[in-house]
Amino acid sequence: MSVPAAYLGVILIWATTPLAIKWSSEGAGFLFGVASRMVLGVFICLALVALLSRRLLWHRDALLTYLAAGFGLWGAMTSIYWSAQFIPSGLIAVLFGLSPVVTGVMAAFWLGERVLTPSRLAGLGLGLAGLSVVFAQSLEIGSGAVMGIGGVLLSVHIHAASAVWVKRIAAGIPALETTTGALLIAVPLFLLSWGVLDGQLPSEMDSRTGWSIVYLAVFGSAFGFIFYFYVLQRVEASRVALITLVTPVLALILGYEVNGEEIGARELLGTAVILTGLACHQWGGRWLERLV
């Protein structure tokens, strides 16, 4: 598999995932939605392992990789699904776009990557400024929006910590095996969360909800994570997170066109500032070199 193709696949899947998450939770509850998606996803991955005559590795670094990825998957996805009850899918993608900044800071401390340059610090400042604008708008809308934003930010930090942890272990495990191992760790946690906090099967489920769960299981949980871990193993962590610079724009357009989601003027302003900060975080150093 080529790295650019996998990179593009992650972008397309992540751009459509927020809306699919929202649809999959509307008719079934967010805990059932995420748990059923992950159960289907792990069976798909196990089937791929068998069909391709692959095998899971169980040495120490492999187990640590599965734990790092699995706990990150459980924490980040649970937070995202919970947040989808309160805020539009496009805004979820925008806020998750802060992953490069958070990942870069963590990578600097954990991996020794040289990412805390002046331009990237400026990008961090712009990202925080844009976030404050979005928060100010949400305070006017109500407490639900604030809780939703807080949940996405928690997911961002969990996701970033998991990515850097996997990168630090550097076990060299293929993407399919990493995804399968992570899901084997995460699925029991998802089922336990659903059983303890909800435990109710949906009485009715429309076709949109059902197909959203299937889509998320096949592409979001299986192929999406396979592509993601494949790229993560071949590209530095701070650049992998750059994917979230593109996905917010696509997700905003999709939410507006397909789901009729409206975003206020301040949220659009905050989005623009966040994306500018992310661009500065990634390319600011090159821009300064050309100017000089």
Q: What is the mean pLDDT of each run of 10 residues along the chain (292 residues)?
A: 77 84 79 88 89 87 92 92 84 77 78 65 67 59 75 90 87 84 93 86 77 86 77 68 70 76 69 70 58 54
- Distance in angstroms (rounded) separating the CA atoms of residues 1 and 76: 27
- What pLDDT was estimated at residue 1? 64
- Distance in angstroms (rounded) separating the CA atoms of residues 101 and 242: 9
- Determine whether 85 is exposed, middle or buried from the number of CB atoms within 10 Å of its CB (0-12, 13-18, 19+): middle
- What pLDDT was estimated at residue 222? 76
CB 32 within 8 A of CB 217: no
- Distance in angstroms (rounded) separating the CA atoms of residues 42 and 190: 12
- How far is CA 268 from each of CA 22, 35, 264, rounded to the nearest angstrom? 20, 32, 6
- Distance in angstroms (rounded) separating the CA atoms of residues 131 and 153: 10
- What pLDDT was estimated at residue 242? 66
pTM exceeds 0.75: yes
- How far is CA 166 from each of CA 58, 59, 106, 135, rounded to the nearest angstrom? 15, 15, 12, 31
- What pLDDT was estimated at residue 244? 65
- Distance in angstroms (rounded) separating the CA atoms of residues 67 and 194: 20
- Distance in angstroms (rounded) separating the CA atoms of residues 229 and 135: 32
